[in-house]
Amino acid sequence: MSNPSSPSSSAAQHQDPLHQQELAAGASDDAGIIVPGVAAGDDELSPPRCEWEFRLARTVPSTALPGASDAIGSVDFDPTGRLLATGGIARKIRMYNVTSLLDSSATASGAGPAACICVPAKLSSVRWRPCASVVGCGDYDGVVTEYDVERGVASWERDEHAGRRVWALDYAPGATMAASGSDDRTAHVWDPRAPSAGWTTARAGGAVLCVEFDPSGGPQLAVGSADRRAVVYDVRALGRGAVAWMDGHGRAVTYVRWAGAGAGAGRRVVTSAADGTHRLWEWGPGEELAREVRSYSGHASARSFVGMGVWRGAGLVASGSESNHVFVYDLRWAKPIWVHPFCGAHLPVSNVGGGGFVSAVAWRQGGDLHGGALVAGGSDGVLKMFTCQRRKAEEADGDH
């Protein structure tokens, strides 16, 4: 998916690197590169140690025919963490059994898709609906559609964005509300239990590229757009405007993710932009202008969506990169704690535009905070599943 970078032009006016880029094949089973901390005094926010051990559990190659694009644009774990859905250029929703992906003894065929649904348009976003075996999708034709996974058919659709691409879709906890962001510079909020009953609209100064409800159940919706700004709305009163503002990115805001509670009763959000940074923001009760707590850099993001996700329980941020690497940051430090070359074990991090990039990432939320799972999808259609385990204190101290 292309990455709009200025408030004066919409996403539709930009080239689509995922569609046009010559895609590279192949995958590496390298366990990853631990990025050492900078020498004392150079950067006080550099990680003193890597507290996590990451392992590649499974590589699922693309099944696309030669010359065909199979770029993955979105990945999402279902609420139970047992299923994974992917979507992208190939006009397919693929569902995977997570246990099979994590089982190193499983055969390659056993780790393939458990189900596949063909859809009529390229997909920008896939999102599981809470409390139901339903996947919602936003597509390039401006349509939001829900698919019944068990029957493999569409259960309903809404086409209310005037045919402009839907970049993002999200559900509130309990599926009491849904939201979509579009090239038409609006975010729509509606009740998925009665999708034709109407909706409310929040407007932005550019294409709305990302939306996410507060996962704790609060009435807040975070929205990021091509006008370089991220804002938070109270969905009970969208017409009154934003209740919090995050200004500071130099280019389009491509992802916005809630990061759990901050100090006191403060709220925290992580944003990602085409300026090559992720940023952590915090604001307290009664405050409208969020404070930038930290900026994270190292990955490359200037013209493509590279994915960004927050494992809220562990305080970790994952992202893709145009250098074709997976990056993991700890919210406490500005530098990455782990980097994995997605295609080829010896690619330098500076190898931008080398034939592919990591285009989507997601964490499996909940569960054991000492161990987790991270999935990443590439512009070449390759899917990789990683496990991470918190190291014992003496092991972490021994890294340096």
pLDDT for position 41: 38
What token pair was written down for 82? Answer: 């047992």
What whole-number percentage of the chain has pLDDT above 70? 80
Domains belonging to the chain, first-starting first, are 11-397 (2.130.10.10)
Q: Say yes or no to pLDDT of 314 above 80.
A: yes
**pLDDT for position 42:** 42
pLDDT tens-digit profile of 120-167? 999 999 999 998 899 999 999 999 999 999 999 999 999 999 999 999
- Asked if residue 10 has pLDDT above 60, the reply is no
Q: What is the mean pLDDT of residues 184-200?
A: 86
- Do β-strands 229-234 and 220-225 pair in parallel, antiparallel, or remain unpaired? antiparallel
Asked if pLDDT for residue 195 goes beyond 90, the answer is no
Q: What is the pLDDT of residue 399?
A: 52
Q: What is the mean pLDDT of residues 163-181?
A: 95
What is the C-alpha separation between 378 and 201, in angstroms, rounded? Answer: 33
At residue 4, the pLDDT reads 52
Separation CA 179–CA 191 (nearest Å):
9
pLDDT value for 188: 96
Helix runs in the chain, H state only: 17-20, 98-102, 393-397
